[in-house]
Structure 1
Amino acid sequence: MKHIVPALLLIATAACGFQPVYAPVDGKYAESGMISVSPIDGRQGHMLRRALQQELAVGVPGLTEKVTLSVTLGSNLSRLALRPDGAASRSSIVANGSYRLEGENTRVTGRSNVEAGFLVPDSPYGDIAAQTDAGDRAMRVLAKQIADDIRLKFAGS
């Protein structure tokens, strides 16, 4: 009886057309709209890709063909202010992204930079959490800047 219930649930799920959200589709990742965002390495790259997908989901006015957005991401952690004991009290994450939007008749490139600062807590685990949060904030702002830059380039053409 214990094995029958999971088997029935599995059959019912398969029959309804269930597919995991992040499952590859024909060897590629699912596209949304006219712009497909290529995977970006690392945790911050994943956060940037998700933020770009959200920013560009509404589309770009003037874009009439399917295109692929590729981003090269770089980031650096800097300790800015030091306490009398030599420990950092303020830090900053500087992220830069170079992007290329390519399609059949479209070639657009650009670069954007962003900085997100944070206070360093006394706890080492708090420092890790603060770094992670600052990195996530930087990726959201970087995605907005890249999306705005793309929209401005298409508005001018």
Structure 2
Amino acid sequence: MKRLLAPLLLLATGACGFQPVYAPVNGQYAESGLISVSPIEGREGHMLRRALQEELAVGMPGLTEPVTLTVNLQSDLTRLALLPDGAASRSSIMASGSYRLEGENVRVTGRSEVETGFLVPDSPYGDIAAQTDAGDRAMRVLAKQIADDIRLKFASP
């Protein structure tokens, strides 16, 4: 009975016009809206790109043509407070992104910066996890700042 049910379920699903959300369209994955975000190097770059895609998925008021957003990311880890034994107790991640939004008739450039601090745990693995979390938070904030900056530039005449 179970062997008969699975093929019938597949036939019924295909007959209703079901198509998976992330399925390729004509062999390529579709971009969301008119804004495509170029790949950014590194783990933090990947996180920034994903956050930018989420922020810009709703589109941009006044944008009527396809454009590409290119971001040059720079990120630095700084140890701020040191304990008497030389170990860090507080650290900070400074991230800056200079961006360029280009299309056939559109060219917008800008730069945004963000700083995220975190307390350094005693264990080395905890330090790595804290750095990763702070980097992820910094990329989400940087993506929001870049998207807001682009929206402001499109809003002003």
Specify the TM-score bucket, using the shorter chain as the normaliser.
0.7 to 0.9
Residue in structure 1 matched with residue 129 of structure 2 by the alignment = 129
Consecutive unaligned residues of structure 2, counting only runs of 5 or more, are none
Distance 1:103 1:75, change over 3 A: same
**Counterpart check, 1:72 vs 2:72:** yes
Residue in structure 1 matched with residue 106 of structure 2 by the alignment = 106
**Counterpart check, 1:90 vs 2:66:** no
Distance 1:60 1:18, change over 3 A: closer
Structure 1 residue 60: Cα displacement: 1.0
The AA in structure 2 aligned to 1:110 is G
Which stretch of the first structure deviates more once superposed, 59-68 or 124-133?
59-68
The AA in structure 2 aligned to 1:152 is L
> 2: CA distance between counterparts of 1:24 and 1:115?
37
Distance 1:24 1:102, change over 3 A: farther
Structure 1 residue 37: Cα displacement: 0.6
RMSD: 2.3
4+ residue stretches of structure 1 with deviation over 2 A? 15-21, 23-30
The AA in structure 1 aligned to 2:122 is D
The AA in structure 2 aligned to 1:153 is K
What TM-score, normalized to structure 2? 0.84
**Counterpart check, 1:151 vs 2:144:** no
Structure 1 residue 29: Cα displacement: 5.2
**Counterpart check, 1:138 vs 2:138:** yes
Structure 1 residue 128: Cα displacement: 0.2
What TM-score, normalized to structure 1? 0.84
The AA in structure 2 aligned to 1:120 is V
